[in-house]
Structure 1
């Protein structure tokens, strides 16, 4: 009689790969565009697939901000789209500085993204 263990292991492994732990961290900006009033008061909104993961704190009057927040998602899948929107916090209406979008891949990956209004967003993510 054949053992069903190999089949059971195959099924369990495929279920484990369907949804994976995803983390975005090490978010930092460099040379972010300035407004008339000074440097940007920047923050980042984080999305993965259709999920909103949150947003960072505002770093006031800093062209080279570093955010300590980490964002996790437990139902991420390879090839989901990671979207990072960078904004300048202002009274009344926040200015949009740019967006970074990328399909996520397994492993730990670091990227630089050039923003439409000037400056660069650097970030790292891990999927596994």
Structure 2
């Protein structure tokens, strides 16, 4: 009698690679740094793995911006990397304030990320 072990292992591998919906929301920052041109004009670029999910609007002259945008991705996988890049929009060159990266875990999670050039990015995501 043949063993069902290979089919069972294949089933477990498939479950581990199952795609889920990612929803990223409640993006806000606090204490973003000022520069010679004034208060930060912040925005965020959002990535899941190698996929670009989009960019928030620019919040001019606001050290504590709150973005209303929500991002969804239907092909997200647990343990994939969620990457958020926070920028200060300027006329010539946008300054990168910091990058937040986190491996996705099932469920709903709230996180704070401390930015390299000062300030904190707060966000919530759900995957399931």
TM-score, length-scaled by structure 1:
0.87
| 1:93-104 mapped onto 2 (5 Å cutoff) | 93-104=93-104
Q: Which runs of 5+ in 1 are unaligned?
A: 1-10
1:45-71 per-position Cα deviation (integer Å, ceiling 9, x unaligned): 000011100000000000000000000
Report how many residues are paired: 117
Quote the offset at 1:35 in angstroms. Answer: 1.1
Q: Flag as ranges the 4+ runs of structure 1 deviating above 2 A.
A: none
Q: Deviations over 1:90-115 (max 9, x none)?
A: 00110110000000000000000000
Structure 2 portions without partners, runs of 5+: 1-10
Aligned to 2:53: 53
Partner deviation per Cα, 1:2-45 (whole Å, 9 max, x = no partner):
xxxxxxxxx6xx56x70000011000000001111211000000
Counterpart in 2 of 1:4?
none
Partner of 2:123: 123
> Are 1:86 and 2:86 an aligned pair?
yes
TM-score when scaled to structure 2? 0.87
Backbone CA RMSD of aligned residues: 1.6
